[in-house]
Protein backbone atom coordinates (compact mmCIF):
# COMPACT_ATOMS: atom_id res chain seq x y z
CA UNK A 1 0.00 0.00 0.00
CA UNK A 2 1.49 3.31 -1.09
CA UNK A 3 0.36 5.93 1.45
CA UNK A 4 1.54 8.80 -0.75
CA UNK A 5 -0.77 7.66 -3.55
CA UNK A 6 -3.64 7.39 -1.10
CA UNK A 7 -2.95 10.88 0.31
CA UNK A 8 -2.76 12.27 -3.21
CA UNK A 9 -6.06 10.65 -4.17
CA UNK A 10 -7.87 12.20 -1.20
CA UNK A 11 -6.12 15.54 -1.64
CA UNK A 12 -7.57 15.58 -5.16
CA UNK A 13 -10.99 14.42 -3.92
CA UNK A 14 -11.67 17.71 -2.09
CA UNK A 15 -13.45 19.41 -4.99
CA UNK A 16 -15.85 16.49 -5.34
CA UNK A 17 -16.62 16.63 -1.62
CA UNK A 18 -17.26 20.37 -1.79
CA UNK A 19 -19.64 19.90 -4.74
CA UNK A 20 -21.57 16.99 -3.22
CA UNK A 21 -21.62 18.57 0.27
CA UNK A 22 -24.25 17.00 2.52
CA UNK A 23 -25.66 14.32 0.26
CA UNK A 24 -28.50 11.97 1.12
CA UNK A 25 -26.17 9.18 2.30
CA UNK A 26 -24.27 11.42 4.72
CA UNK A 27 -27.44 13.01 6.07
CA UNK A 28 -29.07 9.60 6.62
CA UNK A 29 -26.00 8.43 8.55
CA UNK A 30 -26.21 11.55 10.72
CA UNK A 31 -29.91 10.91 11.40
CA UNK A 32 -29.10 7.30 12.38
CA UNK A 33 -26.51 8.45 14.92
CA UNK A 34 -29.17 10.74 16.41
CA UNK A 35 -31.64 7.83 16.61
CA UNK A 36 -28.96 5.71 18.31
CA UNK A 37 -28.50 8.34 20.99
CA UNK A 38 -26.06 10.99 19.73
CA UNK A 39 -26.55 13.96 22.03
CA UNK A 40 -24.83 17.14 23.16
CA UNK A 41 -22.56 15.22 25.60
CA UNK A 42 -21.46 12.48 23.19
CA UNK A 43 -17.81 11.84 22.36
CA UNK A 44 -17.33 10.96 18.71
CA UNK A 45 -14.36 9.55 16.82
CA UNK A 46 -14.69 10.18 13.11
CA UNK A 47 -12.38 8.09 10.93
CA UNK A 48 -11.79 9.32 7.38
CA UNK A 49 -13.41 12.69 7.99
CA UNK A 50 -12.54 14.20 4.61
CA UNK A 51 -13.29 17.92 4.48
CA UNK A 52 -15.58 17.66 7.51
CA UNK A 53 -19.03 17.32 5.96
CA UNK A 54 -20.20 14.80 8.57
CA UNK A 55 -18.15 16.57 11.26
CA UNK A 56 -20.15 19.74 10.66
CA UNK A 57 -23.45 17.87 11.01
CA UNK A 58 -22.34 16.06 14.16
CA UNK A 59 -21.15 19.33 15.71
CA UNK A 60 -24.70 20.71 15.47
CA UNK A 61 -25.72 18.07 18.03
CA UNK A 62 -22.49 17.53 20.00
CA UNK A 63 -21.99 20.85 21.78
CA UNK A 64 -20.72 19.72 25.19
CA UNK A 65 -18.95 16.48 24.22
CA UNK A 66 -15.89 16.12 22.01
CA UNK A 67 -15.37 15.26 18.37
CA UNK A 68 -12.04 13.83 17.26
CA UNK A 69 -11.46 13.48 13.53
CA UNK A 70 -8.70 11.73 11.62
CA UNK A 71 -8.04 11.98 7.90
CA UNK A 72 -5.07 10.88 5.77
CA UNK A 73 -5.26 13.93 3.46
CA UNK A 74 -3.46 16.98 4.90
CA UNK A 75 -5.27 19.24 2.44
CA UNK A 76 -8.66 17.92 3.56
CA UNK A 77 -7.77 18.50 7.21
CA UNK A 78 -6.59 22.03 6.43
CA UNK A 79 -9.87 22.72 4.63
CA UNK A 80 -11.93 21.35 7.53
CA UNK A 81 -9.98 23.39 10.10
CA UNK A 82 -10.59 26.58 8.12
CA UNK A 83 -14.32 25.97 7.76
CA UNK A 84 -15.26 24.35 11.08
CA UNK A 85 -14.08 26.38 14.04
CA UNK A 86 -15.44 24.85 17.21
CA UNK A 87 -13.48 24.35 20.40
CA UNK A 88 -14.75 20.83 21.01
CA UNK A 89 -13.38 19.46 17.69
CA UNK A 90 -9.82 18.15 17.27
CA UNK A 91 -8.52 17.45 13.77
CA UNK A 92 -5.68 14.99 13.11
CA UNK A 93 -3.84 14.03 9.95
CA UNK A 94 -2.95 10.34 9.96
CA UNK A 95 -3.66 7.01 8.34
CA UNK A 96 -6.40 5.43 10.46
CA UNK A 97 -4.32 2.23 10.60
CA UNK A 98 -1.62 4.06 12.59
CA UNK A 99 -3.89 6.37 14.59
CA UNK A 100 -4.30 6.15 18.36
CA UNK A 101 -7.32 8.14 19.58
CA UNK A 102 -6.85 10.72 22.31
CA UNK A 103 -10.43 10.37 23.52
CA UNK A 104 -10.60 8.21 26.63
CA UNK A 105 -14.32 7.48 26.25
CA UNK A 106 -15.86 7.09 22.80
CA UNK A 107 -19.62 6.90 22.38
CA UNK A 108 -19.74 6.80 18.58
CA UNK A 109 -17.31 5.94 15.81
CA UNK A 110 -18.11 7.02 12.28
CA UNK A 111 -16.30 5.92 9.17
pTM: 0.85
pLDDT of 39-71, one tens digit each? 999 999 999 999 999 999 999 999 999 999 999
> Which one has a higher pLDDT value, 11 or 23?
23
Identify the burial level of 59 via C-beta atoms within 10 angstroms of its C-beta, where 0-12 means exposed, 13-18 middle and 19 or more buried: middle
Amino acid sequence: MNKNKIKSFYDNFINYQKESNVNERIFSLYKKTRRYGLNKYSNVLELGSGIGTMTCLISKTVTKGRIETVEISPNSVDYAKKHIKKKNIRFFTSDIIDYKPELKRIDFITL
